[in-house]
Amino acid sequence: MILAQLLENFDKDVSAHTTIWIKVILVVLLVIILRAFLVQRQLLIAKRLSALGMFVVLLLLVIYPDVSNSLAHAVGVGRGVDLLFYMSNLFLLLLIVGQWRRLNILNSSITRLSRSIAIQTARKPADNKQTDDK
Amino acid sequence: MAQQSVWIVIPAYNESRVIARVVGELVQCKASYNIVVVDDGSTDGTNSAVRSLPVHILTHPENLGQGAAIATGIEYALLQKADIVVTFDADGQMRREDIDKLLAKLSEGFDVVLGSRFLDRRPEGMPLVRKFLLRLAVVFTRITSGLRITDVHNGFRAFTADAVRKIVITQNQMAHASEILSEIARNNLKYCEVPVGIRYTDYSKAKGQSIFNFFNILYELLTRGKK
């Protein structure tokens, strides 16, 4: 049933030439972003896969915008845009928490690094006397 | 009893105007303290100001905060086989005579001795707002850690080596003072307070924390990351 709806929507959208360009632009941008994800060698396979999954979902939403509407109705949200808004908010918050954790870890490793440098390069009282004599 | 080695840790960030005088006074003390100045990435020549003095100088490559500087100084002192570690401020607020008071109390069998500005008398010239906020912090500490102390943000402390080894400081900025107290509580260390004098000079007032920092400290404590 959904498939039939998709095909119907596709026909409708293709016939509207004014909306096709924004779709082309969005799809091109999505491909560029996906490529940026995939060329990162150190990225874990799980992250690559989730990026790929996200790409497919976004691609579908761009090509068939009405899908988000029917999805929203299915979960009891008024409009597809609203659903996307909630999801992207949630996603961004998750991202921020993740970055925050990373930042904390980074901070403590910088602290440990600085500490070991400070201790290795310590000036003892004898060193100070030597500079006095000069 | 063998002579105990006492290490005084002085965190310093951009204190070039006063550090030489403060450290110089400590050097002239009759007792032979080992002094560690931790230069927390100063950019004003704090480091060279103390180079002519017979002290240990540790230098953070970047500014990390007072908590990190104290932790660095303590780690170094322990590596040098310190028996007792004292933390002391670089801004000239603290009186060196009080070090002996802390050490005397420590030798009575305490693990930690904390300096207090409020234990037996009113501090002279302390701004009213600061007095109020410190009182609030006392209540906060009593609730969160169960420690009954009168002055929670005093940087004047003496620890035995065994005690200070158990205290883990993860707070790089000002919240380390509260963290040290909760570590004392967590490790069930035997602690007490000793009245110390404090000098509120114009310099120290300008250098000291603004009232808004109270909120920063609270924020740091509430958002503390895992070690």
Structure confidence by residue, pLDDT tens digits, B58-71: 999 999 999 999 99
Is the model's pLDDT at B39 over the cut of 50? yes
Q: Give the domain ranges of chain B.
A: 6-222
A38 belongs to a structural domain: yes
Cβ pair A63, A57 in contact under 8 A: no
> Same domain for A43 and A95?
no
Rg (CA), chain B: 16
Is the model's pLDDT at A134 over the cut of 60? no
A76 belongs to a structural domain: no
Out of A64, A89, A105, pick the residue that ends a domain.
A64
What residue in B sits closest to A100 (Cα-Cα)? Answer: B225
In chain B, residues with a C-beta closer than 8 Å to the C-beta of A108 are: 170, 225, 227
> Which residues constitute the domain of residue A98?
81-121
A116 belongs to a structural domain: yes
In chain A, residues with a C-beta closer than 8 Å to the C-beta of B226 are: 104
Tell me what percent of the residues of chain A surpass a pLDDT of 90.
28
* Subunit contact A123:B53, Cβ cutoff 8 A: no
Give the pLDDT band of residue B226 (cuts 50, 70, 90). very low
A47 belongs to a structural domain: yes
In chain B, residues with a C-beta closer than 8 Å to the C-beta of A118 are: 38, 58-61, 72, 76
> Same domain for A5 and A58?
yes
Fold of B6-222: Spore Coat Polysaccharide Biosynthesis Protein SpsA; Chain A (3.90.550)
Structure confidence by residue, pLDDT tens digits, B155-198: 899 999 999 999 999 988 888 888 899 899 999 999 999 998 87
What residue in B sits closest to A123 (Cα-Cα)? Answer: B57
Q: Does the ipTM surpass 0.90?
A: no
Structure confidence by residue, pLDDT tens digits, A77-110: 888 888 888 988 999 999 999 999 999 999 999 9
SS3 readout for chain B: CCCCCEEEEEEECCCCCCHHHHHHHHHCCCCCCEEEEEECCCCCCHHHHCCCCCCEEEECCCCCCHHHHHHHHHHHHHHCCCCEEEECCCCCCECCHHHHHHHHHHCCCCCEEEEECCCCCCCCCCCHHHHHHHHHHHHHHHHHHCCCCCCCCCCCEEEEHHHHHHCCCCCCCCCHHHHHHHHHHHCCCCEEEEECCECCCHHHHHHCCCCCHHHHHHHHHHCCCCC
A133 belongs to a structural domain: no
* Subunit contact B58:A118, Cβ cutoff 8 A: yes
Of residues A42 and B121, more confidence is placed in: A42
Residues of B with CB under 8 A from a CB of A: 38, 51-62, 64, 68, 71-72, 75-76, 79, 170, 172, 225-227
Tell me what percent of the residues of chain B surpass a pLDDT of 70.
86
What rounded mean pLDDT belongs to chain B? 85
Closest CB from A107, A125, A129 relative to B56: A125
Predicted confidence at residue B156, as pLDDT, reads 93
> Same domain for A23 and A57?
yes
